Structure 1
Amino acid sequence: MSFFVQAETPEPLHPEQAGWSAPLGLAGVAGAWLLGNQADEGIYQYRVRLEPGARIPPHTHPDTRNSTVLKGTLWVGFGESFDEGALVAVPEGSLYLAPAGTPHFLWARDGAVEYQESGVGPSGTRVLQ
């Protein structure tokens, strides 16, 4: 569920007001739906915070997702197993695409990371490991 409510005047959407939780029960990972939800039809935005060293294992989504790194450097790799040699640095301010059905994995290798991903639902997440 999103905390976004359509208003007659612009209203800031503050991530601190969102319902943060640990997606997939992953240690060091917190996420919040800011707009929509992957289970619903339409555009969604999901904010993710990774503590230093936190990893997200290989997983896929049925839709293409684009992610913008807001803080830190996010290390991203494509493949069905977590391969440190396949990781690419996505620095603060940069964006990467995870094409639909492409296995990918993430690591906050150098410190805390915050990123926001968007896509079009309905969607989902399938962890491979």
Structure 2
Amino acid sequence: MTLAISTRLAPSLISLAAAASLALGGSTPVLAQDAVVATLPQDIHFEGPAGAVGIAVLYGDPKKAGMLSERVRIPAGFKIMPHWHGETRTAVVLSGTFYYANGDEWDESKFKAYPPGSFLIEPAKISHYAMAKDGEVVLQATSIGPSSTVRIEQAKK
């Protein structure tokens, strides 16, 4: 079922939602942002050890409540072992082919290949793992913080 909202009523509903969010202790909603945040590609700098996943925070603070947007660079051949996040995340593959699967145990036979332009949603607390098998992968990830990651120990083989 689809519901239509009068365009005359929509601004009032948005204002009401923003006020409720602030009154309940939420962070300032994205709708109320008063400054444009724009970053050129050459100004995006990834943090992390050489040969490992690099993260560039584009907007927000992973340790605080509120909107968070990050670039994630995964080097060729790198394996992201099974884990889950405490928050729902969305991701868009910007470059490379991202191999991704759900589950608590590493199993490459479950991988599905996601080429550039692919969109994924990782619901909170859903175990998953990934790899950049064919070359470097760059993702754009968005969530509402604070951000958390829980690693899943793998059985010794």
* TM-score normalised over the length of structure 2: 0.69
Q: Does 1:74 align with 2:98?
A: yes
CA gap 1:72/1:13 in 2 versus in 1, 3 angstroms:
same
Q: Matched residues in 1 for 2:63 and 2:56: separation?
A: 14
Q: Normalized per residue, which structure has more strand? A: 1
1:21 maps to what in 2?
47
Unaligned runs of 5+ in 1: 1-5
Cα offset for 1:73? Answer: 0.8
Cα offset for 1:92? Answer: 0.2
Q: Which has the larger radius of gyration?
A: 2
1:55 maps to what in 2?
79
Which is worse superposed, 119-128 or 68-77? 119-128
Describe the SS at the equivalent of 1:21: coil
2:145 maps to what in 1?
121
Q: Normalized per residue, which structure has more helix? A: 2
Q: Does 1:32 align with 2:32?
A: no
How large is the RMSD of aligned CA atoms in angstroms?
2.1
Letter in 2 for 1:69: V
Cα offset for 1:97? Answer: 1.1
1:112 maps to what in 2?
136
Unaligned runs of 5+ in 2: 1-32
Alignment length, in residue pairs?
121
* TM-score normalised over the length of structure 1: 0.83
Describe the SS at the equivalent of 2:109: helix
Higher RCO, Cα 8 Å, sep 6+: 1
CA deviation vs aligned residue, 1:50-95 (integer Å, no higher than 9, x gap): 1111111111111110110000110011111211011111110111
Q: Matched residues in 1 for 2:74 and 2:90: separation?
A: 17
**Could you tell me whether the CA contact under 8 Å between 1:68 and 1:117 is conserved in 2?**
yes
